[in-house]
Structure 1
Amino acid sequence: MDTQQEQQQKILEKPIINITGEKVALGPIRRDQIPIYHRWINDFAVLRTLHIPRPSTLEEIQAYFDKDVEEERQRRVIHFTVYERTTLTPIGRVDLEEISYRDRRAEFGIEIGEADYRGRGYGTEATRLMLDYAFTGLGLHNIGLQTWEYNLAAQAAYKKAGFREVGRRRQCKFMGGQLWDIVYMDCLSTEFVSPVLSKIMVPDEIRS
């Protein structure tokens, strides 16, 4: 039988979950997951669709984590860890950045760091849950993103989640020996149906 200390440790190890879908769940980013984030950001297959591929030190990722926490405290960004729902294995992150509560807009970002979970619908559902949070939880109206013309899988997932293409900046991303467009996409709250939070964020009924 587990001791009380072992039981408490298991409780501490189990991640807090804020939003639960069919395939994934979203919870707060955690300092003890920095080594996982560090491994993801050093995977050039991940960086191919995000930034210029280069090695990142653990100290650099720790500094980024501290910056993320501070910006969250100031309500300028929101970060979630993405978990596989049944095992609670961390598989990626989703973010809202450049949040303007006055203008009711923000920028969306996603990273599925675990290769085994790419192309299987996890990113699509994580995107939908983040849109649900942005629209239903925060009351935002326009969520935008940018991706690269060659990232066809991401564009398909974004469209399936509710985004649509709204414009391009031509031939300004170099990859694989040629220049590609930046694709701009967005989603409006009026174009989105809440899958989860509309059932949770409701006013109390008057009791007789």
Structure 2
Amino acid sequence: MKKNKDTCIPGNRVVLVPYTKEHVLKYHGWMQSAELQKLTGSEPLNLDQEYQMQQSWFEDYDKCTFILLDAKSYDGTNDVECMIGDVNLFFNNENDRSSAEIEIMIAEESYRGKGCGKEALLIMMRYGMQELGISTFTAKIGYENKPSLTMFEKIGFREVSRSDVFQEVTLALPLTKGSDKYEWLLKQTNHVQLVQYAHR
């Protein structure tokens, strides 16, 4: 999505930056992992296909992607060295821009279980609400992905359906302006401000 191409969102644990060509090689390395392919429902791509995918995501009006960086190590120039995962929004219904699917991937194992995924999720939801007009978030999570299911449920997502065929649960969280959950999310992310991303 072009809207976020110049947007950087620093948090306490993670920094969200737009997915650019400089990130593709490391991202491609991650996605050779059979575990990550399974967790994300992805097919392996060759490097040329990965570059094409990055460009298509940039052009896609219905997909918003940020790369996650380790906030403690990031100095504003060392993106690739600090990459730990990504977070995405998908608009699956062209007639309803108020609802989007959200997904999170912490690719670097040493950063899992440390609050990075939760903070990235909350920051992305705030961005989605304030910049993209989203009021309902959904997530599709595999039956076996217990850590993600637990994290989403702790945030307030609730199961709305499940598919034994795809072995996944669909969760949803409506965030009506002024509701307790809406105000809670804003409070959790009140340290967040959008800043200009320095392209290299």
TM class by shorter chain equals 0.7 to 0.9
User: How has the CA–CA distance of structure 1 residues 197 and 133 changed in structure 2, closer, same or farther, with 3 Å as cutoff?
Assistant: farther
| 1:86 alignment partner, SS class | coil
CA deviation vs aligned residue, 1:132-168 (integer Å, no higher than 9, x gap): 1111232211111111111101101112333222221
Aligned residue for 1:82?
68
> Is residue 187 from structure 1 mapped to residue 173 from structure 2 by the alignment?
yes
CA deviation vs aligned residue, 1:37-57 (integer Å, no higher than 9, x gap): 1011111121221226x6431
Q: CA deviation at 1:108?
A: 0.9
Q: Which amino acid aligns with 2:100?
A: A
Say whether the 8 Å CA contact 1:95–1:110 is kept in structure 2.
yes
User: How has the CA–CA distance of structure 1 residues 166 and 133 changed in structure 2, closer, same or farther, with 3 Å as cutoff?
Assistant: same
Contiguous gaps of at least 5 residues in structure 1: 1-15, 174-180, 202-208
| 2:41 alignment partner, SS class | coil
So what's the TM-score if we normalise by structure 2?
A: 0.78
Q: CA deviation at 1:182?
A: 1.7
Say whether the 8 Å CA contact 2:97–2:133 is kept in structure 1.
no
Aligned residue for 1:66?
55
Match 2:34 to one of 41, 44, 47: 44
- Trace 1:1-208 onto structure 2 (pairs within 5 A): 18-51=8-41, 55-71=44-60, 75-88=61-74, 89-98=82-91, 100=94, 102-169=96-163, 171-173=164-166, 181-190=167-176, 191-192=181-182, 193-194=185-186, 195-196=188-189
Say whether the 8 Å CA contact 1:127–1:161 is kept in structure 2.
no
CA deviation vs aligned residue, 1:100-139 (integer Å, no higher than 9, x gap): 5844111112221112112222111111111111112322
Say whether the 8 Å CA contact 1:42–1:55 is kept in structure 2.
yes
Say whether the 8 Å CA contact 1:31–1:65 is kept in structure 2.
yes
User: How has the CA–CA distance of structure 1 residues 161 and 57 changed in structure 2, closer, same or farther, with 3 Å as cutoff?
Assistant: same
Q: Which amino acid aligns with 2:146?
A: L
Contiguous gaps of at least 5 residues in structure 2: 1-5, 75-81, 195-200
Q: 2-side partners of 1:135 and 1:101: how far apart?
A: 17
Say whether the 8 Å CA contact 2:139–2:171 is kept in structure 1.
yes
Q: 1-side partners of 2:191 and 2:133: how far apart?
A: 12
| 2:113 alignment partner, SS class | coil
Say whether the 8 Å CA contact 2:63–2:91 is kept in structure 1.
yes
Q: CA deviation at 1:23?
A: 1.0
Say whether the 8 Å CA contact 1:94–1:108 is kept in structure 2.
yes
Q: 2-side partners of 1:57 and 1:199: how far apart?
A: 36
Q: CA deviation at 1:172?
A: 1.2
What is the root-mean-square deviation of aligned Cα atoms in Å? 2.3
